[in-house]
A and B are shown apart, each in its own frame.
Chain A
Amino acid sequence: MGRLPIENCIRELRFRSGEMTQQQLADRIGVTRQTVLAIENGKYSPTLELAFQIAAVFEVELGEVFVYVPRRRGRE
């Protein structure tokens, strides 16, 4: 299970938001800390609704939290 094509800067946003912990973010968006960890590490893509909730917590636009990085094809 490799990295997903969606990258994020949630860890950086947490630190900028008064060093918010993963557990604190998880509590605010209604998921487990493990889910936040999985999202930060690019191992899990949240639903659109959850992604918007995360952006709302940090008071930024969705595109400032998540970035789509298409996978390179082998023969380009």
Chain B
Amino acid sequence: MPDLSFREKSILGSLIATVCVSIGYFTLAVPLLLQENPSYLDFVGPVIGAVVLLIVVQIVYAILIAISSREEPRDERDRLIDLRAARLGYVTLSYGVAALIVGLAVAPLVGRWASPLVVLHALMLLSTVAEVVKFAAQFVYYRCSV
């Protein structure tokens, strides 16, 4: 892959870390959700672990790329890319929430799937997907330029 700028490396790292930690968390969470009567306490450990892992990974990665690359101040192109990517993330989140609202509206037909824990995880998943979309958009805009 061609030489990446500091910002591109930072975004790529955040993208990969978010995807990996999220996959790890939901791999643990989904079986718990499918149990007969899942408890909130079952998820405390995985949530805390995921959050701590994400923070630690991002800090370590940030230190590594700061050592290897020169950080440059944000300019107008960086701000434009951030705005466009944030808009895409927002649209993703909006459509997802709208779909969730529709799903909740028909929840009586689907019984347990409308439990608070499931809704909570659906919102967490939507937030994660929106964040991933934002990071991916930023990276694509930097590579293909905007």
Pick from B72, B75, B77, B144 the residue with the most CB of A within 10 Å: B77
Residues in B with CB closer than 8 Å to A69 are none
8 A Cβ contacts from A24-57 to B: 30-35, 38, 41, 43-44, 46-47, 50
B42 close to chain A: CB less than 8 A: no
Does A50 contact B76, Cβ atoms closer than 8 Å? Answer: yes
Q: In the complex, are the beta carbons of B76 and A47 less than 8 A apart?
A: yes
Task: Name the CB-closest residue of A to B145.
Answer: A43
| Contact partners of B75 in chain A: CB under 8 A | 30-32, 35
Partner of A1, one of B5, B76, B145: B145
Indicate if the CB atoms of B72 and A32 lie closer than 8 Å.
yes
Q: Which of A30, A31, A34, A35 has the most CB of B within 10 A?
A: A34
Assess whether B72 is in contact with A1, with CB atoms less than 8 Å apart.
no
Main secondary structure of the interface of A (DSSP, over half): loop
| Nearest A-chain residue to B77, judged by Cβ | A35
A34 and B73 CA atoms in complex are apart in Å by 12
Q: Which residues on the A side are within 8 Å of B72 (C-beta)? A: 32-33
CB < 8 Å neighbour of A38 from B7, B73, B77:
B77
Asked if B142 is an interface residue, CB under 8 A from chain A, the answer is yes
**B146 sits at the interface (CB 8 A):** yes
Whether B144 and A1, one on each chain, are in contact in the complex, defined by CB atoms closer than 8 angstroms, is yes
A27 — nearest CB in chain B belongs to which residue?
Answer: B72
Residues 111-146 of B at the A interface (beta carbon under 8 Å): 142, 144-146
Q: A30-B75, A38-B77 are in contact. Are A44 and B146 (CB under 8 A)?
A: yes
Q: Interface 1/0s, chain A 1-41, versus B by CB < 8 A? A: 10000000000000000000000000000111111001001
Contact in complex: B146, A34 (CB < 8 Å): no
Chain A residues at the B interface, C-beta cutoff of 8 Å: 1, 30-35, 38, 41, 43-44, 46-47, 50
**21 A-B pairs in the complex with CB atoms less than 8 angstroms apart:** A1-B144, A1-B145, A1-B146, A30-B75, A31-B75, A32-B5, A32-B7, A32-B72, A32-B73, A32-B75, A34-B5, A34-B77, A35-B75, A35-B77, A38-B77, A38-B145, A38-B146, A41-B145, A43-B145, A43-B146, A46-B76
